[in-house]
Structure 1
Amino acid sequence: MTRHLFHQPPDGWVGDVIPWQEDGVLSLFYLHEERIEPKPGTPWRVMRTKDLLAYSEAEVALSAGADDAVDFNAYTGSVVADENGTHHLFYTGQNPRILGEDGQPLQVVLHATSDDAMTTWQRHHGRPIVAPAGYESADWRDPFVLRDEEAGLWRMLVTARHDNGPQRRRGVIAQLVSQDLVTWEPVEPFWDPRRYVAHECPEVFEWNGWYYLVYSEFSDAFATRYRMARSLHGPWLAPEHDSLDGRAFYAAKSVEWNGRRLFFGWIASREGDRDEGPWQWAGTLAVLEARQRPDGTLAFGFTDELLGSFTRVLPLDRTELPGALDAHGRHRAVVLCDALPDTFHASLRVRIDEHGAECGVLLRTSPDGDMGYIIRLEPRRGRMVLDRWPRRRTGDAQWEISGDVPHVVELERPCDLSPGEHILDVVVEGDICVVNLDRAVSLSTRLYDFTGGGLGVFATEGVLRVEDVALRAVPEPQASRGISSDPPPSSTDSLASHREKESS
């Protein structure tokens, strides 16, 4: 069993996760990504956990098909069990060598079954489900199957695209129905907003009288979102804050576990392991727990298991931290420690006044609090963002820094920052960082360029009261991911190193 807070196989990356719960055991099927050439086919692997902390070593659940097979890539799908206890696995088959009528790699829905508790799967390639008339043959994937007890049938939701209309607004969640999980009949679309390129990895579940439709928006946003309804047939309502996380947390799907609702997705890596690198497909496993508010909307936060793993209290220097960090008409920062461990949990309980413009946390910061990563709360804009200083340089002159970019553009989360008390939790493991506000708003990302430095707090044009602050680490035996805890270089040295990195 491996014990990482954010799990990643040693020989690859975690793609779309398909969670399944049975007898208290979570089976986390996922698409295994290997970034090698020539590109191998994509299999399903599975790892299991009973406590969200210890995971079994990943093993192949459904192998990739042969070079000429329609499922050379075995892509996303779902698992269900019928009344006889047989498990049914529906998945996407794709082979870049097999083209559809539109000249793009064909996607089909395939079926496999298991009669030995999901130890082995028998493929049924003789009955592939292809896109019916009116849909593009190259976008027909991510089947999600659920039982509709009221109607007495099975429903399959499929990520699809209409074959007409504006290119970026053809996305639709298609629907098929079946009595026996073998023969499927296309029916009217399940959801057809005509807004996005596609709605990937759809799922539907019911919770205390509310139905939730969850999907990953394939568009300029690349976010996992949800909709709400009182009926399986809609109408689907958009809550004010409808996303689970930001750009880096993608393709999340959920499972009910011991009365709780857990969402498993992946935190994307960046090309070249650098802050400015483009986001890549697949990454590291992450889990968010959803909590249902009285009005049915969902809040997303850390699991108690993850936060509870930080049992070692680390010292902080509070000598420079007054009860009220008064920053009227100015900016003030206080550094609480000079060096952070590779893995840590920083928790803060703060009180924001009605005049404050900005406040937040400094991560891997220099001793003067001026360089490093910034988790900034902006009450006037109602958002939490990730920033860093220095930013990317655009030239050699003093002003030629990306100062016109107010934060990392994809890493902005709308939130309620009304005057009063707020709780901020920050968990870092190596290059992974997840921030959570009030156990409701989550922001996941990667931190590559600054690998050392301290922890601080800051305020701008207002008063920030830090009611409580704590820094905790995992027990000493926890394996390190090898990130240095040295403080960052001086401002001059850091600017020079960034020039060298950008010119290389």
Structure 2
Amino acid sequence: MGIFYLPKDGVCGDFIPYYNSKRKCYELYYLHDYRGCNGEGEGTPWRRITTTDMVNFTEEGEILPRGNREDQDLFCYTGCVVEYDDKYHIYYTGHNYHFTEEGRHKESVMHATSVDGITWEKQPQDTFFAAEDREDIEQDDWRDPFVFYQEEEQKWWMLLCTRKKEGPSRRRGATGLLTSDDLVHWSYEGSYWDPHMCWCPECPDLFQWGEYWYFIYSTFCETQGLRTYYRISKSSRGPWKNPGNNCFDGRAFYAGKTASDGKSRYIFGWNPTKTGDKDDGVWQWGGNLIVHKLRQDADGSLSVSMPEKIAEAYREEQRMYLQPIYGMYEELENGFVLKAQSGLGNILISDISKECMVEFEILLSKDTDSAGIMVKVTGEGAGGYYIRLEPGRNRFLFDREPAYPHEKAEIERFVEIDTLKWHSVKVILDGTCVLAYLDDKYALSARMYDFDSDKMMFFVNDGEVSIRNLRMRRLKCKEIQNTPIKERR
């Protein structure tokens, strides 16, 4: 049983996290994609899991059933959960692509309520669409409602994914703002954020942390790349500044949304699978749950790190056997130095657990081309997956060897690499999922399908690298439990 949650009969789509202060747990609603399991057919319901530690999950089953071919909510897509006046509210996207052929609205905002948070009743009379008399927005992109009470303005706000009618096709995406006094009647106020940068800024999230406001969104277009981003401001209405390090992870983390218990804040997204379970497969919608803990830095920017309870779940220390292959190798008191002034230097580590956490500190010399760790290594490095640091390019990336037919790095992101300081690295290997953290600031999720071995390798290309405080730990599986609701009852 792995650390990254995945249902047995499909995959996880977008997560809608909500901290329930009465139950004192995180309720993670998610869009369930059956992927053809058990002949379930098309359509997406909402399911819910709960957790207190991001490690153990209780499956609470279906919360919002999907509609049928004739219903607006054949696909119950992304939304939000709020509590007000002793009642719970779900606002969600009702999507039915069949309606386009019939000249009907493909998407709408829909509403469901509950008095106990367990049994939910849809409120079809509250359904509303993009206003047909508006000349500025398209009718078929009207989704992902995010609702919260805006204390400063004493109104309920709803942020919504929309598209403008004018402009280049792939730059019309905008976030709309609607307001309400009663959570039933909503007025469209216009565009909240109109960046002219993407097809649609999906899955909006907005929260205040100290003196700063944070606006989170996800995109799937070429101009920004497919990932989850954030912007920062000292006002809930912007202007929204790009903080520089403006994403939480790479291409293999999408639709991130946050929740807080008042002490800590986490962001929940998914690591997508690939068609055919192959490295050269096409990225798919949906996959495993990924959770990052957020940290607010002194300048207001956000960093991500591994949740503490996930790190603590890896308790079984594993012995390692190091075998230098190429380059010059020198032992240190609590580590080693690897040098290769012209070419490759590497050290092979054998007989490791295929599912484990590896952590170490790394110091790269100024002129080093690249260095890092290679996992799932075949032979003495003929194949496998790189988690690589490139100080000259300030790149943190995931790639594979051999790279052919790939012409560029599989997943990469900009980071700050200081060759005068030690950097901390943590890597989780969990089935086909891999997740790496750098300096408890940057994260990089990826997938591994084609290679599967019990070897890993430290390497350096054209330079010198020092490694210290190397640890490898296995998951304490008996402490990890995903409990179905039928057993819980």
Q: Same fold (TM over 0.5)?
A: yes
The partner residue of 1:264 within 265, 268, 272 is 268
Of 330, 346, 355, the match for 1:343: 355
User: 2:346 is aligned with what amino acid?
Assistant: A
Structure 2 residue 473 is the aligned partner of structure 1 residue 472? yes
Q: Which residue in 2 is equivalent to 1:497? A: none
Which residue number in structure 1 is paired with residue 401 of structure 2? Answer: 389
Where do residues 185-200 of structure 1 align in structure 2 (5 Å cutoff)?
185-200=187-202
Q: Comparing 227-236 with 52-61, which one deviates more in the overlay?
A: 52-61
How large is the RMSD of aligned CA atoms in angstroms?
1.8
The Cα shift of 1:478 comes to 7.0
After superposition, where does 1:4-403 map in structure 2 within 5 Å? 4-23=2-21, 24-36=24-36, 39-82=41-84, 84-99=85-100, 103=103, 106-116=106-116, 118-132=117-131, 133=134, 134-220=136-222, 221-318=225-322, 320=324, 322=330, 323-335=336-348, 337-393=349-405, 402=406
Residue 319 of structure 1 and its aligned partner are, at CA, apart by 6.3
Stretches of structure 1 that go unaligned for 5 or more consecutive residues are 394-401, 481-504
Distance 2:104 2:435 in 1: 37
- SS of alignment partner, residue 98 of structure 1: helix
Distance 2:360 2:475 in 1: 18
| More displaced 10-residue stretch of structure 1: 50-59 or 170-179 | 50-59
- Matched with 2:457 is 456
Q: CA deviation at 1:58?
A: 4.2
AA matched with 1:333: N
Q: Check conservation: 1:372, 1:453, Cα contact below 8 A.
A: no
The 1:50/1:330 distance shift into structure 2, 3 A limit, reads: same
Partner in structure 2 of residue 433 of structure 1: 434
CA distance in 2, matches of 1:479, 1:207: 32
Contact 2:216–2:230, Cα closer than 8 Å, also in 1: yes
Q: Which moved further from structure 2: 383-392 or 220-229? A: 383-392
Most deviating of 58-67 and 137-146: 58-67
Partner SS state of residue 159, structure 1: strand
Report if the CA contact (8 A) 1:349-1:466 is conserved.
Answer: yes
Distance 1:85-1:4 versus aligned 2 partners, 3 A rule: farther
Q: Aligned equivalents of 2:71 and 2:34: distance in 1? A: 19
| In 2, Cα distance between equivalents of 1:406 and 1:184 | 47
Q: Deviations over 1:219-263 (max 9, x none)?
A: 121110000000101110001111111111100100012511101
- Could you list the runs of 5+ residues in structure 2 that have no partner in the other structure? 331-335, 482-489
Distance 1:42 1:76 in 2: 10
d(CA) in 1 for partners of 2:258, 2:323 = 44
CA offset digits 1:354-376 (Å, max 9, x no partner): 12111000111134233211111
> Matched residue pairs, number?
462
Query: 2:272–2:287: 8 Å Cα contact kept in structure 1?
Result: yes
Deviation per CA, 1:350-400: give whole Å up to 9, x if none. 11121211100011113423321111110000011112112235xxxxxxx
SS of 1:89 mapped into structure 2: strand
Partner amino acid for 1:354? Answer: K
Q: 1:450 to 1:274 in 2, by over 3 A?
A: same
1:279-334, CA deviations, whole angstroms, 9 ceiling, x for partnerless residues? 00011111011111100101112111111111111111246452321222232011
- 1:418 maps to a residue whose letter is D
Aligned identity (percent) is 32
Aligned partner of residue 30 in structure 2, secondary structure: strand
Find the residue that maps to 1:328 and give its secondary structure: strand
Task: Find the aligned partners of 2:111 and 2:427 in 1 and give their Cα distance.
Answer: 41
SS in 2 for 1:462: strand
> What is the CA-CA distance between 1:100 and the residue it aligns to?
8.2
Change (3 A) 1:259 1:251: same
Taking the aligned partners of 2:251 and 2:60, their CA distance within structure 1 comes to 26
Deviation at 1:39, TM superposition (A): 3.3
What is the distance in 2 between the residues matched to 1:195 and 1:97?
A: 29
Kept in 1, the 8 Å contact 2:320–2:350? The answer is no
| 8 A contact 2:378–2:451 mirrored in 1 | no
Higher strand share: 2
